[in-house]
């Protein structure tokens, strides 16, 4: 069974096998976690993302899917990029959010990663309510069959940390 660890901090500083990037579909960097990972990871991550766009994801990575690149200058060996859904009050997009976690763990297994750090996917600029996002994240990781030994949720704010702690 996977060990769940909560950390309040910066995902770009995590010494794990893989960090998960809450990417936008372009894979070319952006704000929030995505921008921080690209800035700290350096140009190797962007170059790898450009190669992915050229070879397989010309129209962008679909929401709920995941793909890996080098970790560049990060302490992590790999970055697993996943595109979270934007919160909607009209459509239940919970399955897409759960898919981000499942697909990221699937990619981690393909890489042979044993430790993976996740941010709170979609809970920033995409507007997903943190309490609901925490429940989906933790429930999905617990229910996913994976060889990953440790999943570390790296939460930037105290509110996010508290929301995850209430579910664990």
Point out the residues that are catalytic: 34
Q: Using N-to-C axis directions, what is the helix angle for 130-143 and 94-111, rounded to 10°?
A: 40
Backbone angles phi, psi at 151, to 5 degrees: -110, 120
CA–CA dist 32, 83 (Å, integer): 13
Q: Identify whether the C-beta of residue 69 lies closer than 8 Å to the C-beta of residue 111.
A: no
Of 122, 126, 124, 117, which is closest to residue 148 (Cα–Cα)? 117
Q: List all residues 6 or more positions away from 112 whose beta carbon is below 8 Å from its beta carbon.
A: 17
Distance from CA of residue 133 to its chain's centroid? Answer: 12
Tell me what percent of the chain is helix, strand and coil, each rounded to the nearest 5. 40, 20, 40
CA–CA dist 144, 142 (Å, integer): 6
């Amino acid at each position: 069974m996977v060990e769940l660890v909560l950390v309040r901090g910066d995902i770009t500083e995590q010494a794990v096998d893989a960090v998960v990037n809450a990417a936008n579909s372009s894979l070319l960097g952006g704000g929030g976690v995505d921008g921080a990972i690209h800035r700290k990871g350096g140009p190797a991550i962007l170059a790898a993302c450009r190669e992915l766009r050229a070879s397989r994801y010309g129209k962008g990575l679909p929401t709920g899917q995941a793909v890996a690149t080098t970790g560049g200058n990060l302490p992590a060996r790999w970055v697993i990029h996943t595109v979270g859904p934007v919160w909607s009050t009209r459509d239940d997009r919970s399955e897409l959010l759960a898919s981000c976690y499942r697909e990221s763990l699937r990619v981690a297994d393909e890489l042979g990663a044993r430790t993976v750090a996740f941010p709170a996917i979609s809970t920033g600029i995409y507007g997903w309510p943190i309490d609901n996002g925490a429940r989906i994240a933790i429930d999905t990781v617990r229910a996913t069959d994976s060889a990953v030994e440790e999943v570390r949720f790296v939460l930037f704010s105290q509110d996010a940390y508290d929301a995850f702690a209430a579910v664990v």
